[in-house]
Chains A and B, each alone.
Chain A
Amino acid sequence: AQTVTQSQPEMSVQEAETVTLSCTYDTSESDYYLFWYKQPPSRQMILVIRQEAYKQQNATENRFSVNFQKAAKSFSLKISDSQLGDAAMYFCAYRSAGTNAGKSTFGDGTTLTVKP
């Protein structure tokens, strides 16, 4: 079974600065997908960014980018120019790419505080 580990329960960043949230995972599969989800106080789960394991290029979505290190099984999220609205719980998630796959396994989450 796959596991996802987020070693930082809480992180804080000054507004306009950059913060990196870490995520590691354990799998024996070679093909899979990785995601970062954001859960603000409203509790709505929002997809932030995704990465296909077979792609070496790191995904980028505006101020959000990932550092995907497949050999190290690491998938960190970098938030640049942090904004107050970025304050939320961030979950890293793993999803198999097999034909019978579908469910995602989530990490424990990292609570990000943005200081004005």
Chain B
Amino acid sequence: AAGVIQSPRHLIKEKRETATLKCYPIPRHDTVYWYQQGPGQDPQFLISFYEKMQSDKGSIPDRFSAQQFSDYHSELNMSSLELGDSALYFCASSFRQGQGYGYTFGSGTRLTVV
């Protein structure tokens, strides 16, 4: 079965650079979530999209932006990168109307800012 696809798997950037993370949800899933997980920490919610509209916003820095496209894939854009942005970034997808079902997570993008 198709899973949530995230690219790239690993990314190394320098401070003040820009990074773009991509997420391709499971077909027919209409909701995408972005989470940031620092080393040894729990996932922190960043932002979510339902039917291409932002549905919720968490602790996402102003330097970050995201959107969901017509094919339901989503991109997280991160500018003016800081060392503290180094983390594992997860994308997850689900049915909005099937809230009782857990997320399906992608494998994550490990971002290292040097």
Question: Does A68 make an interface contact (CB < 8 A)?
Answer: no
Instruction: With a 10 A CB-CB cut-off, give which of B43, B55, B90 has the most chain A CB atoms.
Output: B43
Q: List 21 A-B contacts (CB under 8 A).
A: A33-B99, A33-B100, A42-B107, A43-B107, A44-B108, A45-B43, A50-B100, A93-B102, A96-B99, A100-B55, A100-B56, A101-B99, A102-B50, A102-B55, A102-B94, A102-B99, A103-B33, A103-B48, A104-B33, A104-B103, A106-B42
Are A52 and B100 within 8 A (Cβ)? yes
A contact residues, range:
20 to 34
Interface residues of B in 1-38 (CB under 8 A from A): 31, 33
Question: Does B88 make an interface contact (CB < 8 A)?
Answer: yes
Q: Please, how many angstroms separate the alpha-carbon atoms of A52 and B21 in the complex?
A: 32
Instruction: With a 10 A CB-CB cut-off, give which of A45, A52, A100, A101 has the most chain B CB atoms.
Output: A45
Question: Does A16 make an interface contact (CB < 8 A)?
Answer: no
Are B101 and A102 within 8 A (Cβ)? no
Secondary structure call for the B interface: strand
Question: Does B64 make an interface contact (CB < 8 A)?
Answer: no
Are A105 and B45 within 8 A (Cβ)? yes
**Which residues of the other chain, B, contact A100 by a CB distance below 8 angstroms?**
55-56
The chain B residues found within 8 Å of chain A, CB to CB, are: 31, 33, 41-45, 48, 50, 55-56, 58, 88, 90, 92, 94, 96, 99-105, 107-108, 110
- Give which listed residue, B55, B90, B96, contacts A45 with CB less than 8 A: B90
The chain A residues found within 8 Å of chain B, CB to CB, are: 33, 35, 37, 42-47, 50, 52, 91, 93, 95-97, 100-109
Given the known interface contacts A43-B107, A43-B108, A52-B100, the answer about A103 and B88 at a Cβ–Cβ threshold of 8 Å is no
**Which residues of the other chain, A, contact B108 by a CB distance below 8 angstroms?**
43-45
Instruction: With a 10 A CB-CB cut-off, give which of B45, B50, B58, B110 has the most chain A CB atoms.
Output: B45
Are A35 and B102 within 8 A (Cβ)? yes
Closest CB-CB distance, B98 to chain A, in whole Å?
10
